[in-house]
Structure 1
Amino acid sequence: MPHHGAMRPVFTGIPGAPAAPGVAVVVDVMRAFTVAAWAFRRGAERIVFARTLREALALKARHPDWLACQDGAPMPGFDLVNSPARLRALDLRGRTVVQKTTAGTAGALAVADAGLLLCASFAVAGATAGALRRVRAQTVTFVVTGDGGRAEEDRACAQYIAERVRTDDVDAGPYLARARRSTAAARLADGVRRGWAGVDPEDVAVCLETDTFPSAMAATREDGHLVLRPWAPPERPASSV
């Protein structure tokens, strides 16, 4: 079913991203925002983005009950690796997760002043498209975070979301096929073969599951930090009788 009101998508990498777009969708499929979607699925209350590993550990030192997550091999002081497959088994009810990743969190911080800042992966693609329709977004800046804006899996996901805003009748297959053939997918598969500690054999498959999570994810500033939560649509003003 087509939707009225054409949205104009703009695709950019982190370096070319405008500082304060009206609406931004930051895409990191493999793996930061698939991890974020699963963290919420497993009950996490919010995700605090850290600029550096040092900042992540400092936040955890101030809040010992927070869980710190980074990509790469497990590091002292960090509780979680950036693996959605590993996260699926954890109980994160009511927890705050501090996330620091090379691409995803850096992309979100680059457009932190956006009027509406959504973070996305295939897991929340439909929900993200629904949120963009709900706010009647005119121009949307899609930030392709991986490989300096060239990451095929992030670009495919961004284009899939943009197409889903236009019409619900979109086959995810071709977009997922591009993601499956991406450099990032090959890199994760290679990591599995090499026995890298921070990579799970199921990660790529989990990152390619589509619409597993019913809420879009929105980042806003709270207490000087950029904080991600499941998106709550703006309240409609009560119509006057």
Structure 2
Amino acid sequence: MDARFLGIAELVEVPPVAVVVDVMRAFTVAGWAFAQGAEKIVLAESLDEALALKDRHPEWVALKDGPPAPGFDAVNSPGLLRSVDLGGRTVVQKTTAGTVGALAVKEASLVLCASFVVAEATARLLRERRSDSVTFVVTGEDGQADEDLACAQYIAARTTTPGADAADFLRRAAESRAATELAEGLRQGVHPDDVALCLELDRFPFAMAATLEDALMVLRPCAVPSPTDGASN
């Protein structure tokens, strides 16, 4: 598999297969939203679009980066979201990097959104698809966020070498600037457990695939059979 690792600004053409990585915290939050029962996540282009969608669909749950704000129901924190019942709900998500990265590759034939919590399921799906070329979109810090790059490189390694070890990749993420800023309370809308939750490897058994539905970019969980499923005795 030919793996490329690009920042959002480096995307000069639509890749056939894109894995958009945002560890801290958009696509860790997305995993938790699905674990809490969300049916789908609409990735909004802007805060105004998120509020407009919420206005048209009052039953939807709108969340954003930073502190709580009028019109939004939640913030982009896995620690805060894990206690919210989202059974059957639609979530509208707008973040600084993750949702921007996914929308930048919305025309790709396959768009997966990923973080460490869905790393193995994402790698298994890529193996199943036998993709010759995969572009990993490193969303944070203009493509320089080491937690996102480490996760992308880990998923790429697991795709080609299923036994690849996660330890060094998780260490890099734990030592990243984003992890430090979250741990030290330099960002708003943060729970004390956020960093630990973002570093929880393979917490969820599903991958997350985004597709265009009625002009909206919609993220849904994607079940991926484990290697033992269907194995004969």
Q: State the TM bucket, normalised to the shorter chain.
A: over 0.9
1:12-56 CA-partner distances (Å, limit 9, x unpaired): 000012442110000000000000000001110000011111100
1:231 to partner: Cα distance? 2.0
Q: Any stretches of 5+ residues in structure 1 without a counterpart?
A: 1-6, 234-241
1:163 to partner: Cα distance? 0.3
Q: 1:220 maps to which residue?
A: 211
CA contact (8 A) 1:10 1:141 kept: yes
2:121 is the alignment partner of 1:130? no
Q: How does 1:109-120 map to 2 (within 5 A)?
A: 109-120=103-114
Instruction: Choose which of 31, 36, 43 in structure 1 pairs with 2:25.
Output: 31
1:232 to partner: Cα distance? 5.2
- Structure 2 distance, partners of 1:230, 1:17, is 25
- Structure 1 distance, partners of 2:113, 2:2, is 18
CA contact (8 A) 1:23 1:115 kept: yes
CA contact (8 A) 1:179 1:185 kept: yes
3-state secondary structure, aligned to 2:184: helix
- Structure 1 distance, partners of 2:64, 2:164, is 33
3-state secondary structure, aligned to 2:92: strand
2:53 is the alignment partner of 1:62? no
CA contact (8 A) 1:25 1:119 kept: yes
Runs ≥4 residues deviating over 6 A: none
- Structure 2 distance, partners of 1:10, 1:165, is 13
- Structure 2 distance, partners of 1:150, 1:222, is 31
CA contact (8 A) 1:18 1:111 kept: no
Q: How does 1:27-106 map to 2 (within 5 A)?
A: 27-106=21-100
| Identity between Structure 1 and Structure 2 (%) | 63
CA contact (8 A) 2:205 2:223 kept: no
> Normalised by the size of structure 2, how large is the TM-score?
0.94
CA RMSD of aligned residues (A): 1.1
CA contact (8 A) 1:20 1:115 kept: no
1:197 to partner: Cα distance? 4.8
How many residue pairs get aligned? The number is 224
Q: 2:193 maps to which residue?
A: 202
3-state secondary structure, aligned to 1:216: strand
> Normalised by the size of structure 1, how large is the TM-score?
0.91
1:168 to partner: Cα distance? 1.6
1:189 to partner: Cα distance? 1.5
